[in-house]
């Protein structure tokens, strides 16, 4: 048996999967992919070596409602960048759909490859063929041998424009408030390593105190650069309003995040054993003009303050949060006054 992790879907954080859609097994979904209601994407059949071949959905693809994408054991499915698979279509492996293709309502594509830019209109059956690039498959066609495929005419400009429009409209859904769940996190707390967690608990506890919805991730600018990239580019479309990024040593995480998104990024430099955190501080704070990172103090104080700073930014548009922040300050004030009173009672002022 191979590595069990390869059987888990790997989905870019910039993509949207509707809660009613089902994604099972060795499925890789790239950036900015929209998967609509009731779509099923399964890669679960094992071959003779007990391995599961992948279903790969490249960036900017849209998979509409009730689409089924599945593969026979040992075969793969690939949907190329910028393609659309429309309502109730079935793409069954082995199958390769090229880039910027369109597969229409209720069409079935099985054991076939479809060249870049080809448009398959509605209720067509494409089986056991290779369709060259930029062909047009009319609605209701049966394309079952290479002779059928050779007879296909070129895709017209109108069809290409239609496919582009469908793609653009569906990708817009990624940013639509209709698909933003009201319980989605507003703040992302990202740290470069699990070893940062002990300090970053200060941040997380403070966000919990203010009841601010947040998510916590471990993403490294150096060790998982691709994940850092897809996380930062997708944060805005997922409704994240502020990223808090903590890292130590040569701490690029906050800067990398800030370079890939326009939402505010707060950097927390971690204390280090070699240089006490000065290394982290300078790496986080010394951003060249143009890409700002709001930097807090090194270590625990900085972790706590990053949360408070994030809360104060959110409070600009949230009266309840603003009141909580005022009360938090008042409580701190009372605590210090109490300390002073106690001291004065021991040593008369
Ligand atoms: C950075 O390197 C992390 O943010 C952490 O502060 C530091 C050390 O990481 P580990 O070696 O403990 O994983 O990337």
User: Tell me: the pLDDT tens digits for 13-31?
Assistant: 778 888 789 998 889 999 8
pLDDT at 1 over 60: no
- The pLDDT of residue 181 is 59
Which atom in ligand 1 lies closest to the alpha carbon of residue 192?
4
Question: Residue 300 C-alpha to ligand 1 middle, in angstroms?
Answer: 15
Write out pLDDT tens, residues 168-190. Answer: 888 888 777 777 655 678 999 99
| Farthest CA pair distance, the chain | 103
Tell me the pLDDT tens digit for each residue of 84-105. Answer: 999 999 999 899 999 999 999 9
pLDDT of residue 281 exceeding 60:
yes
Q: Of 10-24, 183-197, 243-257, 293-307, which gets the smallest average pLDDT?
A: 10-24
**How large is the C-alpha radius of gyration of the chain?**
26
CB of 271 closer than 6 angstroms to any ligand 1 atom: no
Strands across the sheet containing 84-85 = 16-17, 34-35, 62-63, 84-85, 102-103, 119-120, 136-137
Whether 270 lines ligand 1, by a CB cut-off of 6 Å, is: yes
Cβ of 279 closer than 6 Å to ligand 1, yes or no, is: no
Q: What value does the mean pLDDT of the chain take?
A: 92
Secondary structure string (H, E, C) spanning 197-211: HHHHHHHHHHHHHCC
């Amino acid at each position: 048996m191979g590595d069990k992790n390869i059987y888990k879907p790997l989905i870019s954080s910039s993509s949207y999967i509707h809660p009613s859609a089902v994604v099972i097994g060795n499925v890789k979904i790239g950036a900015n992919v929209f998967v609509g209601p009731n779509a099923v994407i399964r890669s679960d059949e094992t071959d003779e070596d007990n391995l599961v071949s992948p279903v790969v959905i490249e960036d900017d693809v849209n998979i509409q409602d009730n689409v089924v994408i599945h593969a026979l054991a040992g075969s793969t499915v690939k949907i190329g960048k910028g393609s659309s698979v429309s309502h109730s279509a079935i793409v069954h492996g082995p199958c390769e759909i090229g880039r910027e293709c369109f597969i229409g309502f209720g069409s079935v594509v099985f054991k076939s490859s479809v060249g870049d830019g080809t448009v398959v209109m509605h209720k067509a059956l494409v089986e056991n063929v290779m369709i060259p690039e930029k062909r047009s498959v009319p609605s209701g066609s049966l394309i079952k041998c290479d002779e059928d495929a050779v007879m296909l005419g070129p895709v017209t400009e109108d069809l290409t424009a239609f496919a582009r429009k469908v793609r653009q409209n569906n990708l817009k859904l990624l940013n639509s408030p209709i698909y933003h769940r009201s319980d989605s996190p507003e703040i992302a707390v990202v740290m470069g390593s699990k070893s940062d967690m002990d300090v970053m608990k200060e941040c997380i506890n403070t966000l919990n105190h203010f009841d601010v919805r947040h998510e916590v991730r471990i993403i490294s600018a150096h060790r998982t650069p691709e994940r850092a990239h897809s996380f930062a580019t997708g944060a805005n479309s997922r409704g994240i309003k502020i990223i808090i990024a903590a890292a130590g040593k040569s701490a690029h995480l906050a800067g990398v995040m800030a370079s890939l998104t326009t939402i505010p990024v707060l950097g927390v430099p971690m204390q280090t054993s070699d240089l006490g955190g000065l290394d982290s501080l300078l790496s986080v704070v010394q951003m060249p003009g143009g890409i700002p990172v709001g930097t807090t103090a090194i270590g625990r104080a900085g972790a706590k303050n990053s949360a408070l700073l994030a809360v104060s930014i959110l409070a600009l548009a949230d009266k309840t949060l603003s009141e909580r922040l005022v009360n938090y300050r008042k409580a701190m004030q009372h605590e210090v006054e109490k300390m002073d009173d106690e001291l004065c009672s021991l040593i008369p002022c």
